[in-house]
Structure 1
Amino acid sequence: MVAFALLPFLLAAVSPLSSDAAPLSGLTSMAKFKGVPVFPPVNLGLMCEIPMFQNACARVAAKTSVGKQVYTPIGTAQGVADGSGANRFAVKYATHTRWAASTVATKWALPTGAKNASGLPLACPQPSVDPSTYTEDCLSMMLYVPTSLKANSGVPTLLWIHGGSFIAGSATAPGLDGSKLAVATNSIVAVMQYRLGALGFMAPDGTTNLAVKDSIAAMNFLAKVVPSFGGSSSKITLAGQSSGAGMIRALLAAPSASSLFQSAILQSDPIDYGFLNVSTQNALQSSFNTLTGCAASDKACQSSLSVDAILSAQVTLGDNAPSIDASTGSAEPIRPVRDGSLINTPLDLTAPFPPVSKPILLTNVKNEAGPTIFGAFTGILAPSVFGPVCAASLGDARTETIQASPFYPTSNIADTRVPLETLGTDWIWRCPTWSLARSWSGNGGRVFVGMFVTGATYPVNNAIAFCLQPGSVCHQDDIEIVFGTVPNPTPAQAQLTTEMQARYKAFLTTGSPNAAGLSSWTAATTTDVHAHQLGGTPSPSGEIPAGACDPSFWGSAVQYDYQVFGI
């Protein structure tokens, strides 16, 4: 079997932003007034970087926030204003050595490559981008803080985890400026980076889920510093899109991470893939070690590898993954592993679902598979092609059931890409999301499900004609709506941005996306997920019909990949 969806990569977009921030000045010299020594005003920021003063500074941090300079328990944070009512702070949240677990930062430091507070972090190493845009020392984040916030205000923090199939992306990818979202939600918005690809998931000694542990380090860092900016360490909500949402699902399945966040928002999570199992990870790991030429125990060899050599081996591994173990697929062959230590449940239909309590919000876009299908097939496809394409991806048995169903008709269809796109959206994204919602609701958690029928074309989708058509909402087209970063938004886009930010503000504070003046969003149950329509002309019920996502079809009559492969 081959995978159906090849998710577009979020390429790092690192561009300097202007700032009027000045570097910290040193202590001025002592003067005298009428013969008596006079000490000038002390630069508290510099003092707070001296270990003997850090405890005192921590107490001051609870009361003090001066403009773009914030005194935290680990040193002075210097930010820049961007004119939107928020200050931006770039910081290293953790350090690490190659293929070792990350350690939470104990000192406030600018990201690698940043010369001053206006500098942006370099991305984590990834294929097909200019090497000057990335560094291994990449565990950095951006904090966006409303200028009106005072220390210890107790507002929520939203930690955004970017997508990119676990091999690409950055905190500075298009649309991820969190300033407007922070102001609209009266929260701190943090956008983090984590180790990607082989550097985050293929430690030669078999250590698993390093990138997931990076996310845990980021939450521990935020708990330490957000009170100084006006946040509450107990009010952290995770949010992310695509593989970023998949990372959050891994954190929901990690008991040791549970106390670090209160709720989660998962946008366009390709849940169909599931977590890798240990045997699959071991097979991939063995192949990767062979490709690098370094034995599992040969630390010297591993340290001597160039980043280019590691990325080259990673690309080859990704290409070969389906032939090594078919359960990997080709879209996200490198991904979190249910290792039994950090991640101990699949959170799917293959095993008893654990008790849960956190509120979660799950969303999809109308045409998740649009970039995949219309990007791969650039010309019209005849109806006769549906069966072979479907069988090549899902196998004969599942294809037979799909063709016999009423959900993906090909008769009287001029272009078979249309039902193929609907099929891909249901199979990889929408229906497994709805299955997760039913399980979450049935085991103690509150869950809200939605679908974007209005979006804003994400830059990587501009080359795909289908994604530019009126009414199309392709994978990633929800990102700029949520962040409020749509260039020249239409009235419909602006209205949906206002709505989503109001709903996110409510969710961050109450665990529900219902807010005054907005239509009611009903929580999902085990029998009806009540998928709320986001944007467009509301249907009579305001909800999206189940269609093929009825539990008797996907997940039962037609199994998801994670069921087929038992992962």
Structure 2
Amino acid sequence: MTTSAQHPEVTTTAGTVRGFWRENSAAFLGIPFAEPPVGENRFQAPVPHRPWEGVRDALEHGATPQRKALAEVTLIPEPSILGESTLNVNVFTPSPVEADGVGLPVLVWIHGGGYVAGSPASPWYDGAAFNRDGVVTVSVSYRLGFDGFGWIEDAPSNRGVLDWLLALEWVKDNIAAFGGDPSRVTLSGQSAGGGAVQTLLAMPSAQPLFKSVISLSGPPTAATLEESEELGRKLAELGGVAPTIAGLSTLSEAEVLALQGQVSSLSAGDGGADADPLAGLKMFLGGGTLTLGPVVDGELIPLGTVDALAAGIGADKELIIGTTDNEFNMVMAGARDALAEVPPAAVLGSVGVAPALIEAYVASHPGLGTAELVGQYVTDFMFRAPSLNLAEVRAAAGAPTWLYRFSWKSPTMGDACHCIDVPFMWDVLGEEHVPAIAGTEPPQELADGLHASSVAFIATGQPGWPAYDDVDRAVRVYDVPTSVVRDGYGDTRALLPERVS
């Protein structure tokens, strides 16, 4: 490593990169870990980036796979940046030099966005606060939507997952040069990113690349190859091409994105108001979600997340898992008046929820109006119950697992909504986009606590509250004040599969 007053330089396996200092932290932005996924590389496994000569500037974020933000899924500022070289890493480090002894612990962040949107260039993912506390931070990009996850007859499946793996290989080979310890890598992500790190935890081939995981609001991977094939064939048919690399390569990026919006339950489309007051409920419970994302292909991903963790895969890795209390309640906010006189059983029954489950769920949520109760059901069905289920599956396997809730209610959003925990974990409450989701006076003490427990876990494998087991069922509740409670997800227990409950 060479350095100057403003621009440190680090030599990677592909060549030297030049970053920049900001106070006590150095940033290296847009370092390519793979060749641009265009042309012959578009629908293939990622190819490691070829070496370059001289010094490559890493002063600005690289191009992003996201071409249009998906406001329906994320409240996080995640800019789109045009360009072909979209497979990049951003590295933030307090010490851009290889340590004489053991390097610093490392956090690798995978962004969310329903696997069809999101960007590693968010100001919320700036690692300055983690650097301040002795953690090297890396954020990664990956192919999104159909390019990353769509089924193609003669192309590898799970191309976006292969991107994650190559990025982690890059971290293993290069992070020591930035002051990090490749043997102390913690994976983390939120929403689809939380699902991504769960998927990696459940993958045998990923095990040598990390030591622990923090999953925020992540959906477990369960989609089958058959489901993926059905969607892929449908998209190709709508595009008037064969479901092959040759056929789909004749469609432009814009054409594929437009077709993707027709076949996927989530897409980077225009959204807008819907006259149907149950549209949100039908979208997330009736039609399912994340139809473009990791699939259980029997090879790279041999088992779904739940089955893999139950089989003991990843049992030697520490895991923190949890959600916000009211993740997607907002999908029913516009239906409050329309459903005021409608029994909740009628609404849940209209999308196929079993009568016995409806009875148990309504009984465990007294005092809620129909829209509020149904919105909470969406949150519990998609996020809270799956997180509790994974914690109990891991506990049964003797795997070290910690369960949390983020319960602080935003004065602007009205509850503990999806994404609200991210600026607290990253300790970026002063960032200009935070007031929209957390108000003008978000509690710094809450950020201090959540960020500190994250740092402790990344550094030591212990976040500071008891691990989850089937006796005490300890859950950390992040609020003002923060506490530890027993069975903090007990109101979702009716939604658990029988083999766990």
Instruction: Give the secondary structure class of the aligned counterpart of 2:92.
Output: strand
Partner of 2:275: none
Q: Is 1:204 matched with 2:152?
A: yes
Partner of 1:280: 227
- 1:44-90, Cα deviation, whole Å (9 max, x unpaired): xxxxxxxxxxxxxxxxx5xx666521223331111122336343433
Q: Which of 323, 340, 365 is the matching residue for 1:382?
A: 340
Alignment map for 1:281-296 (pairs within 5 Å):
281-296=228-243
Q: Which of 129, 133, 137 is the matching residue for 1:189?
A: 137
Structure 2 residue identity aligned to 1:487: G
1:160 and 1:167 map into 2 onto residues whose CA distance is 17
Q: Which of 104, 116, 131 is the matching residue for 2:48?
A: 104
Instruction: Give the secondary structure class of the aligned counterpart of 1:104.
Output: coil
Instruction: Give the secondary structure class of the aligned counterpart of 1:449.
Output: strand
Aligned length: 463
Structure 2 residue identity aligned to 1:286: R
Structure 2 residue identity aligned to 1:450: Y
Q: Is 1:341 matched with 2:299?
A: yes
Structure 2 residue identity aligned to 1:133: I
Query: CA RMSD for the aligned pairs?
Result: 3.3
Alignment map for 1:238-253 (pairs within 5 Å):
238-253=187-202
- 1:81-132, Cα deviation, whole Å (9 max, x unpaired): 233634343311112311100022343699xxxx943221222144568998
Q: Is 1:480 matched with 2:430?
A: no
- 1:252-279, Cα deviation, whole Å (9 max, x unpaired): 12111111111100001134xx421122
Q: 1:139 to 1:395 in 2, by over 3 A?
A: same
| TM-score, normalising length: structure 1 | 0.74
Q: Which of 17, 35, 54 is the matching residue for 1:77?
A: 17
Q: Is 1:231 matched with 2:159?
A: no
2:482 and 2:79 map into 1 onto residues whose CA distance is 46
Structure 1 residue identity aligned to 2:235: F
Partner of 2:371: 417
Alignment map for 1:421-440 (pairs within 5 Å):
421-440=375-394
Q: Is 1:393 matched with 2:351?
A: yes
CA contact (8 A) 1:492 1:535 kept: no
Q: Which of 549, 554, 560 is the matching residue for 2:492?
A: 549
Partner of 2:258: 312
CA contact (8 A) 1:353 1:439 kept: no
Q: 1:132 to 1:399 in 2, by over 3 A?
A: closer
Structure 2 regions of 5+ residues with no counterpart? 71-77, 268-278, 435-439
Q: Is 1:507 matched with 2:457?
A: yes
Structure 1 residue identity aligned to 2:248: Q
1:528 and 1:109 map into 2 onto residues whose CA distance is 58
- 1:374-421, Cα deviation, whole Å (9 max, x unpaired): 2x5364631524223212334344654446x521335xx5x4222223
Alignment map for 1:44-55 (pairs within 5 Å):
none
Instruction: Give the secondary structure class of the aligned counterpart of 2:187.
Output: strand
Q: Is 1:442 matched with 2:396?
A: yes
Deviation at 1:200, TM superposition (A): 0.3
2:99 and 2:52 map into 1 onto residues whose CA distance is 17
Structure 1 residue identity aligned to 2:233: S
1:303 and 1:126 map into 2 onto residues whose CA distance is 18
Q: 1:377 to 1:108 in 2, by over 3 A?
A: farther
Deviation at 1:533, TM superposition (A): 1.1
Q: 1:445 to 1:128 in 2, by over 3 A?
A: closer
Structure 2 residue identity aligned to 1:332: L
Q: 1:436 to 1:311 in 2, by over 3 A?
A: same
Instruction: Give the secondary structure class of the aligned counterpart of 1:393.
Output: coil
Alignment map for 1:443-462 (pairs within 5 Å):
443-454=397-408
Q: Which of 69, 83, 91 is the matching residue for 1:143?
A: 91
Q: Which of 326, 329, 334 is the matching residue for 1:367?
A: 326
2:379 and 2:285 map into 1 onto residues whose CA distance is 19
Deviation at 1:351, TM superposition (A): 9.4
Instruction: Give the secondary structure class of the aligned counterpart of 1:70.
Output: strand
Q: 1:157 to 1:263 in 2, by over 3 A?
A: same
Partner of 1:49: none
* 382-391 vs 206-215, greater mean Cα deviation: 382-391
Instruction: Give the secondary structure class of the aligned counterpart of 2:31.
Output: strand
Instruction: Give the secondary structure class of the aligned counterpart of 1:348.
Output: helix
Structure 2 residue identity aligned to 1:421: G
1:378 and 1:508 map into 2 onto residues whose CA distance is 42
1:131 and 1:150 map into 2 onto residues whose CA distance is 32
Instruction: Give the secondary structure class of the aligned counterpart of 2:124.
Output: coil
1:544 and 1:533 map into 2 onto residues whose CA distance is 11
- 1:483-523, Cα deviation, whole Å (9 max, x unpaired): 11123787763112222222122111221112xxxxxx110
Identity of aligned residues (%): 24
Structure 2 residue identity aligned to 1:482: M
Structure 2 residue identity aligned to 1:260: L
CA contact (8 A) 1:532 1:544 kept: no
2:119 and 2:344 map into 1 onto residues whose CA distance is 36
